[in-house]
Amino acid sequence: MLINRTSLSRTVDAINAAHVDGHTLSAADRGDVARWIAARQGLPGAYGGTFAGFPSERSKGIVLFTGERIAFASARHILGEEASRALRSLGVRDRGVTRALDAADEGLMQCLARAAEDPRKQNPGLYCCGKCSVGLWRNLLGGGLDRREERLERGAMHLRSVRDGEEGWRTFPFWYTVLALSEMDSNGAKAELKYAAPALERAAARATSSSVYTQRRQALATRVLKTL
């Protein structure tokens, strides 16, 4: 069951899980969940005209695919980016779905344009903070927004300047960042994954866990290490 009637974030999580696990979704399932997500475009609480979570998600936050908990405005923003990515990945040809995606993209583009007006923010690959920047990258990687190559390359290059000396990055959620970097095809992204490799090796070597998020992290670590 893809649709969680009380949680947009869990519905998006189910779509991501199906994709990562290689499960083929039926046309009927893809259509149902796509139209359900599209119907949440622009509802109260939606960030920048994207897709609104439910009241409990707005008050308590959301859990990312890689297990990090995000709250407040960041949760609303990232959920909008992730829902856009998930909706696009379903590949459903439906006027209502297309209109919802176009409106979400337009809203996010307006947010990016406003952010670019701040003279302190000269990097088009970043958005307000580390976690929200990764949400932006994920949407770009899924085919949304504009200036994809430039934003992804500049964003990945920024990470070098915020390395924490412990295989991670200041203000950037480690596993969510690794997930995004694993889909990028640039020297900058590869360099950051190599920097994080010791942490990935430790995660991959841990005993099997019953936690779904630990399992996802181990699978991600193993997959990334094979590419380095």
The partner residues of 170 in beta bridges, in order of sequence, read none
Quote the CA–CA distance of 116 and 114 in Å, as a whole number: 5
**Predicted local confidence at residue 121, as pLDDT:** 86
What's the one-letter identity of residue 109? M
Which pair of tokens denotes residue 193? Answer: 């994954």
Residue 69 · residue 47 · CB < 8 Å? no
Query: For residue 88, which of 105, 75, 65 has the smallest C-alpha distance?
Result: 105
The set of residues, in sequence order, having a beta carbon less than 8 Å from that of 41 and lying 6+ positions away, is 49, 50, 51, 52, 100, 103, 104
Residue written as tokens 């992290």? 217
What's the one-letter identity of residue 177? T
The angle that helices 27-38 and 8-20 make with each other, rounded to 10 degrees, is 150
**Predicted local confidence at residue 217, as pLDDT:** 98
Residue 82 · residue 139 · CB < 8 Å? yes
- Return the domain boundaries, the chain: 1-117, 124-129+148-228
Q: What is the pLDDT along the chain (228 residues), one digit of tens a residue?
A: 899 999 999 999 999 999 999 999 999 999 999 999 999 999 999 999 999 999 999 999 999 999 999 999 999 999 999 999 999 999 999 999 999 999 999 999 999 999 999 888 899 999 999 999 999 999 999 999 999 999 999 999 999 999 999 999 999 999 999 999 999 999 999 999 999 999 999 999 999 899 999 999 999 999 999 999
Residue 50 · residue 100 · CB < 8 Å? no
